[in-house]
Homo-oligomer: A and B are copies of this chain.
Amino acid sequence: MSRTEAAPAQARGDLTERLLAGLPAEAVLTDPDVTASYAHDMASFCPAGAPAAVVLPRTVEQVQHVMRTATELRVPVVPQGARTGLSGAANASDGCIVLSLTRMDRILEISPVDRVAVVEPGVVNAALSRAVGEHGLFYPPDPSSWEMCTIGGNIGTASGGLCCVKYGVTAEYVLGLDVVLADGRLMSTGRRTAKGVAGYDLTRLFVGSEGSLGIVVRAVLALRPQPPRQLALAAEFASAAAACDAVCAIMAGGHVPALLELMDRTTVKAVNDLAHMGLPETTEALLLAAFDTPDPAADLAAVGALCEAAGATQVVPAEDAAESELLLQARRLSLPALEAVRGVTMIDDVCVPRSRLADLVEGVARIADRHRLTIGVVAHAGDGNTHPTVCFDAGDPEESRRARASFDEIMALGLELGGTITGEHGVGVLKKEWLAREIGPVGIEMQRAVKQAFDPLGILNPGKLF
């Protein structure tokens, strides 16, 4: 049976029976109407198949049973968290077992002395953030979907977020993992100590591997002390290039903002349309900077001066934490707001060296013009990580075609500028044709060799990444 064809009824029956030998009935879903609801993550333009079954284990042993069964019957397994991913990495393939980790959602330990949390993969990011906050601790990675997305999904996709410019990405907070391998064996990687170099760093290999190397069933996460509350400013610019100049001046000047975000005019207008926030629509680009330092007002003053030197037409520091939170909220609403423009969006995720940020933003504007499309640019500007967001009407095939073409041209531009096709959303299905362009034939060959080492039968999330 080809792995991309639907399993025949007989095989599906066998599979269900085998799964039920190690899982309670309520943990195995086979009604096609129900399983269909597990077919997709939040990416546009990514095909998805019909799962043969959805399993919802609560224990490591149950996950091991699922993988042993999958190995025995040669059935592909697609691991899933909250399906908030943006690259189709969690999309089902025909006849697969969807392995949802959402019920393994216990926080097993929080240690203020060791500054670690030990969690199951289904813990929601925001739930962990709040729980560690009660101990005066901080789990920095904060993807936009943080109220829904799971730690397991964050690990699988190597998620980023707003505060990466200061605190880095998910990968930097994963100290150790328990992983169920393709054949059902359990392996521990890494450590719970602050440091450790015993053997190859398999922990990091699993981070961002999109479920293609094994199933994460437990993670030891590094925590930080909770910083002071952020204070933010907004700076308006008459051109996106001037805003990017300000970003370069801020970073070259040795400042360490807790966030440094850019919203272009299209995005600002979309947010106002959606949420009536009264953001300044007369601007070409809005830069948001925030500091969580001991004296954020002083840092904001210095950064405000750099913005003015770069040509900011207005610099507005927030008066207090509430005003700062409002600015942040505007930024967090950018993607839903852009989605409302034409009904559907494709969110690109190109990261360039920040010295090339202006070139990217200007290039995206040219691509939008050429394709007669609205493309809003929001960016984790301090990291050079842009999300050019192509707005289009999915009911219009010709417009959809132009949307896809512009999406690809933006990636090509990113590579041309020395950047990457994905700063934080991953490859999944959406960009797998592009991975080879970025990393070249030798890179692809070695990536495949690693995949082969962990998953010789090719049952773990096949069709993703490569």
Interface set of A (CB-CB < 8 Å, partner B): 111-116, 136, 157-158, 160, 164-165, 168-169, 171-172, 181, 185-189, 191-202, 204-205, 207-209, 213, 224-226, 248, 251-252, 254-256, 293-295, 351-355, 380, 382-385, 418-427, 431, 435, 438-440, 442-443, 446-447, 449-454, 465
* Residue of B157, B195, B435, B446 touching A424 (CB-CB under 8 A): B195
The answer to whether A251 and B113 touch across the interface, beta carbons within 8 angstroms, is yes
Compute how far the CA of A111 lies from the CA of B452 in the bound complex, rounded to whole angstroms.
38
16 A-B residue pairs with Cβ-Cβ distance under 8 Å, sorted by A, are A111-B355, A113-B252, A114-B353, A169-B197, A187-B443, A188-B443, A193-B419, A194-B383, A195-B420, A196-B422, A198-B421, A201-B207, A202-B447, A204-B204, A225-B255, A226-B254
The answer to whether A113 and B208 touch across the interface, beta carbons within 8 angstroms, is no
Compute how far the CA of A424 lies from the CA of B248 in the bound complex, rounded to whole angstroms.
34
Task: For A256, list chain B residues within 8 Å (CB).
Answer: 224-225
* Residue of B191, B354, B453 touching A114 (CB-CB under 8 A): B354
Compute how far the CA of A418 lies from the CA of B113 in the bound complex, rounded to whole angstroms.
14
Which of the listed residues A168, A196, A205 has the most CB atoms from chain B within 10 Å of its own CB? A196
The 5 closest A-B pairs by CB, nearest first: A225-B254, A204-B204, A449-B453, A194-B383, A196-B420
Task: For A198, list chain B residues within 8 Å (CB).
Answer: 420-422, 427, 431, 435, 438-439
The answer to whether A439 and B188 touch across the interface, beta carbons within 8 angstroms, is yes
* Residue of B165, B200, B446 touching A181 (CB-CB under 8 A): B446
* Residue of B185, B209, B248, B355 touching A200 (CB-CB under 8 A): B209
Compute how far the CA of A102 lies from the CA of B49 in the bound complex, rounded to whole angstroms.
53
The answer to whether A385 and B194 touch across the interface, beta carbons within 8 angstroms, is yes
Which of the listed residues A186, A192, A198, A465 has the most CB atoms from chain B within 10 Å of its own CB? A198
Compute how far the CA of A209 lies from the CA of B431 in the bound complex, rounded to whole angstroms.
29
The answer to whether A420 and B191 touch across the interface, beta carbons within 8 angstroms, is yes
